[in-house]
Structure 1
Amino acid sequence: MYQLLVVDDEVSSRNILATCFPWGELGFELCGQAGNGKEALEAILSGIVHVVFTDISMPVMDGIDLAKAISDMKGHKPLVVFLSAHDDFKYAQEAIKYGVRYYALKPSSFGELKEIFGRIREELDEKYQVNTSFTGDHSDKTMKKVLEYCTKNYRDGSLADLSQSMYLNPSYLSQLIKQKTNKTFSDHILEIRMKQAAVFLKDPSIKIYHVSSMVGYVNSNNFTRAFRAYFGITPTEYRNRMGNQQ
């Protein structure tokens, strides 16, 4: 069992997280609770903690300062998961500096926590070689989901939406995509848009401005510029060439 520390200044919220979620089913054991970052650090220093599930806004020491203190520790460092009532990403850039890659929004559903801590369990299993039959790479699984998302949501997908759906820090996810594929999230969206546009353009019954809208462009001029930058020719020139080859 991996040791989990729950940190939240709201006692009722902390107790619900600690007692109402079946942590044992995911391989975690609650090793303690803390009301702020200072208390959490004391608990971490007094025993083994693998994961710290912490609120961000707290008195004495908030979640950001706690994450920073953990990142500065020598030797074993627990993973940090943020619990935030703020449905935005204003903490993302600051959080990733201190190694925070996972977060959940208040109130968290069973499904959200199961997804997040399932990922963390895989990561810890791989780190500690608990499951020797585990051959998949966590980041590769993440990239598979990224590419699936881009393929399904190329018209209006966003990094913010993707990050939230995967319960990952958007800055971390952006860096991971670039590291694993040598392309940005926007590059992947653009590539899929352009390839799909090329398919639509082969049908002469579809107006070019309709193709523009079908692949997510509100302004057809922006679509034309993007298409020419990608293929080296305009949508009209591409359609004419395809027509001549038939």
Structure 2
Amino acid sequence: MYKLLVIDDEHDTRDTLCNCFPWESVGFTIVGQLGNGAEALHYMEQNPVDVMLCDIKMPEMSGIELTKQLSERKIAVRTVLLSAYREFEYARQAMQYGVKHYMVKPAKYNDIVQVFSELKSELDEAAGVQPGLPADADTHVMPEDPIVAAITAFVDHNYPTATLQQVSELVNMNASYVSAFFKKKTGINFSDYVQKVKMEKAAELLRGSHHKAYEVSELVGYVNAKNFIRSFKQYFGVTPGQYKNDK
């Protein structure tokens, strides 16, 4: 796996990028998440990184200034710049420091796949890896379909509020198609998968904390505790209280 550093001053954007995209499916592993260019420069002076995914507009040190500093210090790292701003001037400034990849926020699933697949090919070629062969001992272990991986990663991270509409926007597909695609690939309905994640998280909370049932209900996304108790009993065969007492 190639090493990816993510830099964005917006915590929610950074968190979504890191946790709701199946990076391993395109050959990358995230080695760090940072909030500004100065932190990133310090990190990369101490730690080798293959690619950085970096916001352009940040406090203390912008993405453009960061790419300039890296270029001047001859720190080799491929760069993908991410910005909500479409002006060509940003891209032009970045290009003079060797940046070839530029994506507009919010980055679409297909755009990320395309850009990082290209980057992986570039890195493989530079490392002398033959097409179709793993770059290291880990890369032959590929996860499930990348779209399914993106959907399940999103649900696993946002299970209290995850909806079909949200994941359809994430992978840039029609909601009805996503529903049918997910069922075909996994053998389980999307709503049932969300329910499964909620119930297993609820069980984990009941086992490892002093939370009461109504508190766990809220934590996993139920407004009505009675609905939670009913769903939990249908899933596990016992009420949350009985489950907690048995553990």
Report the TM-score when normalising by structure 2: 0.52
- 1:122 matched to 2:116? The reply is no
Partner of 1:93: 92
Unaligned runs of 5+ in 1: 135-246
Partner of 1:18: 18
Q: Deviations along 1:150-190, whole A, 9 cap, x unmatched?
A: xxxxxxxxxxxxxxxxxxxxxxxxxxxxxxxxxxxxxxxxx
> Equivalent residues in 2 for 1:182-201 (5 A)?
none
Partner of 1:102: 101
Partner of 1:78: 77
Shift of 1:73: 2.0
1:110–1:132 Cα change, 3 Å: closer
> Equivalent residues in 2 for 1:101-180 (5 A)?
101-131=100-130
Q: Distance in 1 between matches of 2:129 and 2:46?
A: 24
Q: Distance in 2 between matches of 1:85 and 1:32?
A: 22
Q: Deviations along 1:111-130, whole A, 9 cap, x unmatched?
A: 00000001111101001112
One-letter amino acid matched to 2:25: E
Partner of 1:181: none
Partner of 1:153: none
Q: Distance in 2 between matches of 1:47 and 1:91?
A: 27
Q: Distance in 2 between matches of 1:26 and 1:73?
A: 29
1:47–1:92 Cα change, 3 Å: same
Shift of 1:131: 2.1
Partner of 1:43: 43
| Contact 2:91/2:102, CA 8 A, preserved across alignment | no
Q: Deviations along 1:61-98, whole A, 9 cap, x unmatched?
A: 00000000111123x51111100101231212211111
Q: Distance in 1 between matches of 2:30 and 2:60?
A: 23
Shift of 1:46: 1.8
Q: Distance in 2 between matches of 1:2 and 1:91?
A: 27
SS of alignment partner, residue 94 of structure 1: helix
Partner of 2:200: none
One-letter amino acid matched to 1:27: G
Provide the aligned length of Structure 1 versus Structure 2: 133
Partner of 1:52: 52
Structure with the larger RCO, 1 or 2 (CA within 8 Å, 6+ apart): 2
Q: Distance in 1 between matches of 2:131 and 2:14?
A: 34
Q: Deviations along 1:97-143, whole A, 9 cap, x unmatched?
A: 11111011100111000000011111010011122679xxxxxxxxx
1:16–1:129 Cα change, 3 Å: same
Shift of 1:40: 0.5
Shift of 1:22: 0.5
Root mean square deviation of aligned Cα: 1.4
One-letter amino acid matched to 1:41: L
Q: Distance in 1 between matches of 2:84 and 2:91?
A: 14
Q: Distance in 2 between matches of 1:133 and 1:20?
A: 26
One-letter amino acid matched to 2:77: P
Report the TM-score when normalising by structure 1: 0.52
Q: Distance in 2 between matches of 1:89 and 1:97?
A: 13
Partner of 1:69: 69
Q: Percent identity?
A: 43
Partner of 1:200: none
Q: Distance in 2 between matches of 1:122 and 1:26?
A: 10
